[in-house]
Structure 1
Amino acid sequence: MTETEDGIPGSGEPPQFLLRLPGASGVDRARGVLLDEVGTNGSRKFRILAGSPARDREMPSFSKHFSGTAVARETMRNTGVLRPSTRWPGWLELAQDVDCGSPSFAAGVLVGAPRNGWVDWKTEAGAPLSDFMEGVWPGPARAWLVRGSNVAGADLVQKLWLPEERVSLAAPRLRQGIDQGTSKERLRTVVEEDWGTTATYNQKLELVEELHAFLSRMKPGDTVCTLSGGRFYVGEITGPAEQTASDGRSNLRRPVEWRSTGHPYDVLPEEIQRRLSVQHDVVDLTAVQPLIEGLGLSDEELADEAEAIEHDPSGTTPALAARRELELPVPEQHLADKLLVHDVAWLRDIRDLLWDERQLILYGPPGTGKTYTALELAEYLGGGPEQVKLVQFHPSYAYEDFFEGFRPREDPDTREVAFRLTAGPLRELADLASREGNRHIPYFLIIDEINRANLAKVFGELYFLLEYRNKSVRLTYSGDDFALPPNLFVIGTMNTADRSIALVDAAMRRRFAFVELSPRTEPTSGLLRRWLDREGLGTRAADLLDALNSRIEEADFRIGPSYLMKKGAHRQGGLERTWRTKILPLLEEHHYGESFDIEKRYGLEALARSISDGDGESYEPSP
């Protein structure tokens, strides 16, 4: 940082930028200009003009994570360059022009907290400073990971990046004269010609993506991160890309202002760790940018800095919003009453299993309310039906149907049909759950009849992600690096009459918790009686169902109560009709090929004779 008292150098009047300070009601905005002069690391210098106001306090952790800016601010206060203002009591004021290493450094000096100067310094019309940089990718600031801890065996992070305030990318064969802003199409040609047979087809594709990101998509004001020695370092890009003659390990460079301290990898939020598992030298981390910006800062500091957001009346910041914890509400008695569950503790156990495992299967014979219970519980825990998606598996269901694949689609303009990559229900819900602002909201995927499909064929590489939510895998079709978000829960239902739970493979068992819904145990065993009691219909149907299930030896083929939990089953002739058309056909299929009289063993008349009538009446079939 250098201090000046003279006017702005150079011919012509450069545009003047304004900075609104947090909580500065009735206080002028700070003023400054971007200079043509660059610092030793290549970043553009910025001049704060005399008379600009400054905040008289600092964020508590400012000196720890941004020691360079904090020291400069303290020096200016001690030397009288930054002094108490007579125009704005309780504020500081700059006594003379001050040149800083970058717009963000200048903003940090005035605010006493980290600021993205390329975004916060604006013209009178509201255009950010970054709009005035030539060859810069348009749009908001992004976040990037650039790996440098093992470049041809050298740790450039400790050797070059942190000491010299840079970030670099190795491109040893890249010709000279490739400028910032080069198109991807141009880079494809250059990589093909310059690397030739020294790189495989896939390596060339990755090179093009990494070079395009470093040269054209990155811009001043973007966040850049790296890993070294088990620590995660964060900085801000402060200038354009440049190509230098070097040993090939760092010939593409950008200036960076690194924060003073790194963060241990083990304490990083799970979402950041998941993105860091992607195996590329340059990775877009914009999806977790709010979490990165909040590293090392307390909730109180973030809440205090939320005052600086002039366009958001909620008084929050993306970093503060990203910290909102995922929660699953604890089921209350009114949900148990609605579902006719015998004890609310059973619902709370299900909730705890989902929280711990993220995947759960409700299994049992037909008619035990598996799908109904899954839907009602998911809507309660998720906060509404808009957080719940249901799919049903069947023998022909495949990975392409469930996750993503090429499907025939009609072009709306040409009306031609072509195969296009199409997201399935799991990909759609995962993308929604991982969207910025949604990570604290639980989403539920209900898979009905999960055991009717070939699960290894349907899940593919997703089997791994069900167990390791903090990892990512490269997808088969799109090639994206994908991870299942932690706020996506999966509830499957399994009809044990179709396939016994014993036939589920070990991989499936390990990744799901299994909860039985069976007529032999609660909450299913007494469900029909509770429903009949609520509807005032007596206990006859429950007695008959209990007698029926007592005659079925295999638990997987016992009959659930939902067949008789319909008003139609209790109208004139309804019980006999339900028994004849719904229940007996299931048992006939179970005993197919056996010399067995279904009616004699399971018919209503046979069951009625086996039980005593609580009213003193005997059962007579309806005419």
Structure 2
Amino acid sequence: MTTADQYPEFRLRLPNGGPEARGRHTDEMGTNGSRRFVVLAGQPVRPDVVPSFQQVRSAHRLREQLLAEGRIKPSQTWPGWLETADTITFNSPSEAGAVLMGSAVNGWLVWKTEDGRPLADFLPGASWGPNRAWLVRGSNATGLDLVQRMWLPEGRVSLAAARLRQGVEPGLSKEEVRVLVQEDYEATATYSQKQDLVEELHAFLSRMKPGDTVCTVSGGRLYVGEITGAVEQIESEDHRSNLRRPVTWQDEGHPYDELPEALQQKLSAQHDVVELTAVQAAIDGLGLTDEELADEAEAIERDPSVEIPAITVRRDPELPEPTDELAAELLVHETAWLREVRDLLADDRQLVLYGPPGTGKTYLALKLAEFLGGGPEQVKLVQFHPSYSYEDFFEGFRPQEHPETGEVAFRLTAGPLRELADLASREGNRHIPHFLIIDEINRANLAKVFGELYFLLEYRNKSVRLTYSGDDFALPPNLFVIGTMNTADRSIALVDAAMRRRFAFVELSPRTEPTSGLLRRWLDAQGKDAEPADLLDALNARIEDPDFRVGPSYLMKKGVYRNGGLERTWRTKILPLLEEHHYGEGIDSEKRYGLTALRRSLPEPGA
């Protein structure tokens, strides 16, 4: 057995300007598989604890036990602090640091030598760097729930590696793991199974390290712990837990249905080992209120000028309230209508503006998205058409020229949805609303264009495995979709129930506001005569099918009000639209819908 004297002395600065505690690392294994850490008598201990400390299962209980036994007592050396009354041997550096600090800590990084080197530097073969978070599944290991049966009671996490040869060293590169998997699982796993095994084994053997967060799901609850030691390979009796790591688990699990959406998305990935580092802040805040998190940050002397990630990550993307100025700019009849559209987007995150041509659907979608997103940089527009495909919309292989060799080859290329989703999910962008405008959304085969993403429009808290890249993908919570649908092109009645479930529908029709009075408000703002609005009302009164009534945007252009502009617009844009609608019916469009006929139907001025 190696003694503590073979390691240098390590120091731990207590918070709030507190004194410095000292201890030594050993090679003696603790009960949970980590190396023990020794703190001598007379070392300072923080007198209080942070709110989350009760979740640190064994350390909290141990601290309470040591206080009750008098092994931690009021300090004579540091008034207002506590101190150790005798030598205490802890199961791990993290347990020692947690008891002394009264908070969860990564002992491998907070215990440092006099010249500032962390304890981690003295452990050979380990991979060190920023802490990571991981999901390891144990509730479906060959039909058994290892979480309840072994992991929680014994303080460990494991990975089945039934055919992996004995004596595998930690710290292997991915290529070295790939060779082992290819040789050891040659005839017992498919190609895709081997690919998954390489990723999972490499993560468990080489990327995980003491101090990392580990999560698992069992019985509808998420359990969180800290890895406290190195990987161990054993010949387990049932081959369900050949690779093991010691873990200090928190006392209580968290109800899965109450977890933040971003965390649920990551947890839904169908792999046995999944990196959760991107949602570490959401994990850190589980079970704590904002006030408790703020108190904890203050207690560990966090920089007050920096937002607390665990609080920041809880904020839903906020859509600003539409203003009277916006309503005036868009010539909407009342601000309350815009607020309702905004609320629909906030609730459903997907919305369709539908109506006849010329009702301003695309213009309104763009302007509203720019206002709600804070500018045009957060808005991307695509237009669907019958030949539009998944590869065009999301990702696919396309011919591209190599910038240096000039060689043309098919390369995986992101489409507009993937590009916008990647932008919205970047650090720093996650609380900024981003908008995808899909013009003429009903002109494409939606099931074909969206592919597996169609599922995500309804289940935003899930992720799916992508067809081409094989990545796990989820729609960011701050990504909103606004579609426009021309009812003259394809009736709204033909939209299937699947799409109706995924989108809120808002009508823009000449028969209702804000469209019915839009042209009249525009003419008034421009100081022009109201005759074009009267003519449009008379025209739409003669069109029986509401899906083919004509919208006001045809008459909201400067060219309409130059010499002969109204007659020209009516003859070349409005009448052809109605002639196509009545094709084969033998109706004289000019006689029924022409300007001369409509003007005759209008009441005389002053009548």
TM > 0.5 fold call: yes
Whole-angstrom distance in 2 between the partners of 1:595 and 1:142: 73
Equivalent pair of 2:16/2:300 in contact (CA under 8 Å): no
Q: Does 1:44 align with 2:53?
A: no
Q: Say which of 89, 94, 99 aligns to 1:99.
A: 89
Whole-angstrom distance in 2 between the partners of 1:378 and 1:491: 8
Q: Say which of 126, 134, 139 aligns to 2:124.
A: 134
Q: Say which of 207, 223, 227 aligns to 1:233.
A: 223
Q: Say which of 481, 490, 502 aligns to 2:472.
A: 481
Structure 2 residue runs of 5 or longer lacking an equivalent are none
* Residues 337-370 of structure 1, C-alpha deviations (whole Å, 9 max, x = no match): 2222122222222223223322111011111110
Equivalent pair of 2:31/2:91 in contact (CA under 8 Å): no
Q: Does 1:554 align with 2:540?
A: no
Whole-angstrom distance in 2 between the partners of 1:411 and 1:107: 53
- Name the SS of the counterpart of 1:232 in structure 2: strand
Counterpart residue type for residue 180 of structure 1: P
Q: Say which of 349, 365, 374 aligns to 1:383.
A: 374
Equivalent pair of 1:275/1:472 in contact (CA under 8 Å): yes
- Name the SS of the counterpart of 1:249 in structure 2: coil
- Name the SS of the counterpart of 2:141 in structure 1: coil
**Cross-structure match for 2:206:** 216
Q: Say which of 450, 461, 468 aligns to 1:459.
A: 450
Once the two structures are TM-superposed, the CA of residue 48 in structure 1 deviates from its matched residue by 4.2
Whole-angstrom distance in 1 between the partners of 2:475 and 2:5: 54
* Residues 129-161 of structure 1, C-alpha deviations (whole Å, 9 max, x = no match): 445433333432111111222323333222222
**Cross-structure match for 2:555:** 564
Whole-angstrom distance in 2 between the partners of 1:353 and 1:276: 27
- Name the SS of the counterpart of 2:539 in structure 1: helix
Whole-angstrom distance in 2 between the partners of 1:89 and 1:409: 71
Equivalent pair of 1:84/1:92 in contact (CA under 8 Å): yes
Q: Say which of 503, 510, 520 aligns to 1:529.
A: 520
**Cross-structure match for 1:317:** 308
Once the two structures are TM-superposed, the CA of residue 521 in structure 1 deviates from its matched residue by 1.1
Equivalent pair of 1:306/1:316 in contact (CA under 8 Å): no
Q: 1:61 to 1:473 in 2, by over 3 A?
A: closer
Q: Say which of 468, 489, 501 aligns to 2:459.
A: 468
Report % sequence identity.
Answer: 72
Q: Say which of 200, 205, 215 aligns to 2:190.
A: 200
Whole-angstrom distance in 2 between the partners of 1:154 and 1:164: 16
**Cross-structure match for 1:428:** 419
**Cross-structure match for 1:395:** 386
Equivalent pair of 2:456/2:474 in contact (CA under 8 Å): yes
TM-score, normalising length from structure 1? 0.89
Once the two structures are TM-superposed, the CA of residue 124 in structure 1 deviates from its matched residue by 6.1
**Cross-structure match for 1:23:** 16
Q: Say which of 173, 191, 208 aligns to 2:181.
A: 191
Q: Say which of 333, 336, 351 aligns to 1:345.
A: 336
Q: Say which of 477, 491, 514 aligns to 1:500.
A: 491
Q: Does 1:143 align with 2:148?
A: no
Q: 1:348 to 1:50 in 2, by over 3 A?
A: same
Q: Say which of 325, 339, 348 aligns to 1:357.
A: 348
Whole-angstrom distance in 1 between the partners of 2:213 and 2:293: 18
* Residues 511-541 of structure 1, C-alpha deviations (whole Å, 9 max, x = no match): 2222111111111000111111222213122
Whole-angstrom distance in 2 between the partners of 1:568 and 1:126: 75
Whole-angstrom distance in 2 between the partners of 1:393 and 1:471: 25
Q: Say which of 5, 15, 18 aligns to 1:10.
A: 5
Q: 1:69 to 1:361 in 2, by over 3 A?
A: same
* Residues 424-459 of structure 1, C-alpha deviations (whole Å, 9 max, x = no match): 121222233334554443322111111122222101
Once the two structures are TM-superposed, the CA of residue 51 in structure 1 deviates from its matched residue by 6.1
Equivalent pair of 1:22/1:307 in contact (CA under 8 Å): no
Aligned length: 605
Q: Say which of 475, 490, 508 aligns to 1:517.
A: 508
Whole-angstrom distance in 1 between the partners of 2:135 and 2:227: 12
Deviates more, 1:237-246 or 1:439-448: 439-448
In the TM superposition, what are the counterparts of 1:37-186 in structure 2 within 5 Å? 37-48=28-39, 53-63=44-54, 65-78=55-68, 81-85=71-75, 89-94=79-84, 98-122=88-112, 128-186=118-176
- Name the SS of the counterpart of 2:185 in structure 1: helix
Equivalent pair of 1:322/1:437 in contact (CA under 8 Å): no
Whole-angstrom distance in 2 between the partners of 1:307 and 1:19: 18
Counterpart residue type for residue 490 of structure 1: V
TM-score, normalising length from structure 2? 0.92
- Name the SS of the counterpart of 1:205 in structure 2: helix
Q: Does 1:374 align with 2:374?
A: no
Once the two structures are TM-superposed, the CA of residue 572 in structure 1 deviates from its matched residue by 3.6
* Residues 477-496 of structure 1, C-alpha deviations (whole Å, 9 max, x = no match): 11122222333221100112
Deviates more, 1:120-129 or 1:229-238: 120-129
- Aligned Cα RMSD in Å? 2.7
- Name the SS of the counterpart of 2:4 in structure 1: coil
Q: 1:374 to 1:120 in 2, by over 3 A?
A: farther
Once the two structures are TM-superposed, the CA of residue 98 in structure 1 deviates from its matched residue by 4.0
Once the two structures are TM-superposed, the CA of residue 548 in structure 1 deviates from its matched residue by 1.9
Q: Say which of 280, 285, 290 aligns to 1:289.
A: 280
